[in-house]
Amino acid sequence: MKKRSKLILTISGVCAILILGAVYIYRGVFYQSHYLPNTQVENVNIGKLTYQQAQSKLTKKLVNAKYQLYDDKKALATITGKELGLSRNSGGYLKKLMANQNSWSFSNKVSTETTSSVAAVRVDQASLDAFVKETVDQANQGRTATSNAKVIQETTSFKIKPEVQGTQLDQAAVKAAVEKAIVNGQRKVQLDQTYVKPTITQDNTKLKTEVKSLNEVAQTTGTYTLAGKTITITPAMITSWISYQDGQVVVDQTALTNYLSGLNSQYATYNRDRQFKSTKRGTVTVPAGIYGWSINVSSELPKLTAAILAGKDFTRTPTIQGSGYSKDGTDIGNTYVEVDKENQHMWVYINGEEKISTDIVTGKPKQATPSGVWSVWAKERNSTLKGKNDDGSDYASKVSYWMPIDTTGLGIHDSPWQSKYGGDWYKEHGSHGCINTPPETMAKVYEIVPIGTPVLVF
């Protein structure tokens, strides 16, 4: 009896072993074509499925998936995988996953690689871009825009206005968040971290440096010394001229040009009538001529700009062009030639002292010598003066001394052909406009009058 029981037990044990072996073999063979239990790809369980079944399950779930976009707790939009044009790109990965699994192992443990997020999804970029743009455009309506920190101007100084973190969504960041959620198998997409962010903050080193430079410039005082006048450029004026643009301190060139032009209009003497104290007729008004000075605005502009940007108090005289400028503002000075047409007389003053006084002959009434503040701009010996007579014929007059004083041919010269000077002689025997001077006197005029001397004709 005992032997029979032992036999039965032995047979039972062998059968159990055979059954377990058969199960083991079946399982090993089965999982050579199926995924191990609990195998997951992108949060989808594909355990016990074949490659084709897993691919189909993943694709179906992907296409039917709904992706919901939230800004914190507020739902913004929903879209399906089909609308996004999603498709599987996991074929190679699934095959590799199956090839690497141990079908003969009883363990259902899935490797870290198999459960990690994989780039197994293709997204139609055009569909995604269109969806994101529409969502962002609608969501941003009425939201606060983000702004960078910037320099602002106060009355006499500058400061940094802090950046503003707005609530508008950044389209690129939203797209990235959606793509990440799709790849990771997430259906809820949180967008509260995708706001447009400021690129320049109040802690920006360059911004702080520029504000310091601006305030140094804004506290600068400038002084112009101009023709005996002292003109102050105040900090308030400079502050109104400077600004912060494209990362640098800028001086408004138009404003500076207008300022210099204003100084020129107020103080320059070029192209301006003069009040002149004459020898015989008291104070007379002499029309503008070629004599006079002005501010060379185009040349002075960069110099004044540089002085302002230096951020230090400065004193300078603007760049001058023309003739007659003096620091005391006298313009005509005390060396000049005075031509009184009414009295037909000419005086030469050198350093305030009368050196020559002589009768002259000016132009005939129909060819009157033009009045104006002129200037001796050249001196020539033994010249031939050419022009037209009253009847239209040509003339050529040889002179020993020639001193042109305007740009049309007007000048002072000797006139040996004149038999008389002064009085009313000019009415019948006057010149073509020049100032005829007795030869012996003209020699002295030529000798003592330097180029650049003003000639006042009135």
Domain boundaries, the chain: 2-64+82-139, 205-322, 336-457
What's the mean pLDDT in 9-30?
Answer: 72
pLDDT digits (tens, 9 = 90+) for 243-272: 888 878 899 999 999 999 999 999 999 999
Q: What is the mean pLDDT of residues 14-19?
A: 70
Helix or strand (DSSP H, E) at 358: strand 353-359
Catalogue the long-range contacts made by 51-58 (C-beta closer than 8 Å, 24 or more residues apart): 51/94, 51/95, 51/98, 54/94, 55/88, 55/90, 55/91, 55/94, 58/88, 58/90, 58/120
Each residue's pLDDT tens digit, 315-335: 999 999 999 999 888 899 999
Q: CATH says 336-457 is which class? A: mainly beta
**Looking at residue 387, what is its pLDDT?**
83
d(CA 315, CA 297): 17
- How many Å from the N-terminal Cα to the C-terminal Cα in the chain? 164
pTM: 0.64
Asked if 263 and 231 touch (Cβ cutoff 8 Å), the reply is yes
Catalytically annotated residue among 34, 345, 413, 429: 413
Q: Which one-letter DSSP state was computed for residue 316?
A: E
Q: Which helix (H) or strand (E) holds 384?
A: strand 380-388
Confidence (pLDDT) at 114: 40
pLDDT tens figures, 268-283 = 999 999 999 999 999 9
CA distance 274 to 286: 5
Say which residues have a Cβ less than 8 Å from residue 51's Cβ, sequence separation at least 6. Answer: 33, 94, 95, 98
10 pLDDT tier (thresholds 50, 70, 90): low
Pairwise pLDDT comparison (147 vs 26), residue with the higher score: 147
Q: Is the pLDDT of residue 370 over 50?
A: yes
**Is 345 a known active-site residue?**
no
Band the pLDDT of 116: cuts 50, 70, 90. very low
Candidate from 164-178, 326-340, 388-402, 405-419 with smallest mean pLDDT: 388-402
Q: Quick check: is 413 catalytic? A: yes
CA distances from 263 to 260, 271, 326, 366 (A): 5, 15, 16, 39
CATH architecture of residue range(s) 205-322 = Roll (3.10)
Whole-number Å distance between alpha carbons of 407 and 205:
60
User: Cα–Cα distance between 366 and 296 in angstroms, integer?
Assistant: 38
| Cβ atoms < 10 Å from Cβ of 34 | 21
| CB neighbour class for 368 (10 Å; exposed up to 12, middle 13-18, buried from 19) | middle
Determine the Cα–Cα distance for residues 172 and 190; give it in Å rounded to an integer. Answer: 14
When pLDDT is cut at 50, 70 and 90, the band that residue 160 belongs to is very high
Q: What is the mean pLDDT of the chain?
A: 90
> For residue 106, what pLDDT is reported?
62
Range name among 2-16, 45-59, 150-164 with the lowest pLDDT average:
2-16
- Angle subtended at Cα 376 by Cα 371 and Cα 379, rounded to the nearest 5 degrees: 135
Report which DSSP code applies to 367.
G
Reference 362, options 427, 409, 416, 297; nearest CA is 427
Are the C-beta atoms of 404 and 411 separated by less than 8 Å? Answer: yes
Give pLDDT, residue 266. Answer: 95
Measured distance CA(347)–CA(358) in Å, rounded: 7
Active-site pick, 34, 345, 432, 434? 434
